[in-house]
Amino acid sequence: MKKREIHIVGNWKMNQTLHEISEFFIQMTAMKMELKCKAWIAPQSLHIPILKEIAFTTGAIQVGAQNCSYADSGAFTGEISPAALADIGVEFVIIGHSERRTIFKEDNEILNQKVLAALKHNLKVIYCVGETLEERESNTTFKVIEEQLAVGLKNVPADKAHLLLIAYEPVWAIGTGKVATAEQAEEVHAFIRGKLTQNAEQTIILYGGSVKPDNIDSLLRKENIDGALVGGASLKAKDFKQLCTSA
């Protein structure tokens, strides 16, 4: 029996049409949605209200965003306000995904501002950390992650620490089909838990990187792995459902 509740979080990235979303939920419903864990999905922002509506009728999933701004409002063309996310009832936001860090050049300082802004509105935050292949090969994995945690989570108020989840996503495993071994992942998860200064034992730490129905079990057997952040496999109802029921 796991100490912490398993969370399976689908990160749909910039994918899914309205037709595909409706097919996804038709298939999920046909497979009966008795999920054994917390099932969360982060669609593209403009699809959030549609998923909220579906979540309201099925009651089975919680809906989140893939990113948010550090500002509540103002002249930030194209950005997504954490205040607006909270206002429409979004439950969580992913901050610091490696695609945000690399493609959009978001550094630990900016991510810290985003984390604090989201927490201020009582959004749950999935803060992503992880090393590149180069960093792993040069034995700097722990140093990189320590820095991502220390800067990214600076000044998190004690009364908001329960809203925080961490996702360990080795960059070399995201969308590559190369999953970290359960032992490699557990080693980093235990390290992360050891570095958390607040709420450490209760904090959900997800693994992300090419998680599929055929590799989830060995990951979830590890003490410090409390679920998964899933890209590719979360787009297919059958795989997502299978991930949520194997949990």
Q: Any idea which residues carry the catalytic annotation?
A: 97, 169
Q: Work out whether 43 is an interface residue with ligand PEP (CB under 6 A).
A: no
CB of 158 to ligand PEP, least distance (A): 28
Cα separation of 47 and 52, whole Å?
9
Cβ closest to ligand PEP, residue 160 vs residue 234: 234
Residue keyed to tokens 């950390």 = 129
Angle at 60 between CA 57 and CA 62, to 5 degrees: 95
Helix or strand (DSSP H, E) at 42? strand 38-42
User: Are 128 and 229 spatial neighbours (Cβ–Cβ below 8 Å)?
Assistant: yes
Residue 211 touches ligand PEP, criterion: CB under 6 A: yes
Nearest approach in angstroms of CB 233 to ligand PEP is 6
Which secondary structure element, helix H or strand E, spans residue 126, and what is its range? strand 124-129
- Secondary structure of residue 180 in the 3-state scheme: coil
Among 32, 175, 200, 221, which residue interacts with ligand PEP (rule: CB under 6 A)? 175
Radius of gyration of the chain (CA): 17
Of all residues in the shown chain, the one whose CB is closest to ligand PEP is 231
Q: Which stretch binds ligand PEP (CB under 6 A): 84-92, 130-138, 153-161, 202-210?
A: 202-210
Closer by beta carbon to ligand PEP, 84 or else 230: 230
Distance CA(69)–CA(74), nearest Å, equals: 11
The region that residue 72 occupies, defined by phi over 0 for left and psi between -120 and 50 for alpha, beta otherwise, is: alpha
**DSSP conformation letters of 197-243:** -SSTTT--EEEESS--TTTHHHHHTSTT--EEEESGGGGSHHHHHHH
Q: At 220, is the secondary structure helix, strand, or coil?
A: helix
Question: Which residue shows structure tokens 């009966």?
Answer: 32
Judged by CB under 6 A, the residue of 91, 131, 135, 169 near ligand PEP is: 169
The backbone torsions φ and ψ at residue 208, rounded to the nearest 5 degrees and listed phi first, read -140, 140
Q: Does residue 243 touch ligand PEP according to CB under 6 A?
A: no
- Please report whether residue 96 would count as binding ligand PEP according to CB under 6 A: no
Instruction: Say whether residue 67 binds ligand PEP (CB under 6 A).
Output: no
Q: Give backbone dihedrals phi and psi of 123, rounded to 5 degrees, phi first.
A: -80, 140
Q: How many residues bind ligand PEP (CB under 6 A)?
A: 13
Determine if 206 is a binding residue for ligand PEP (CB under 6 A): no
Residue 209 is a binding residue for ligand PEP (CB under 6 A): yes
Q: Which is nearer to ligand PEP, 84 or 206 (CB)?
A: 206
Is position 234 annotated in a ligand binding site? no
Residues lying near ligand PEP in the complex (CB under 6 A) are found at: 11, 169, 174-175, 208-211, 229-233
Q: List binding-site positions for substrate.
A: 11-13, 175, 210, 231-232
Q: List binding-site positions.
A: 11-13, 175, 210, 231-232
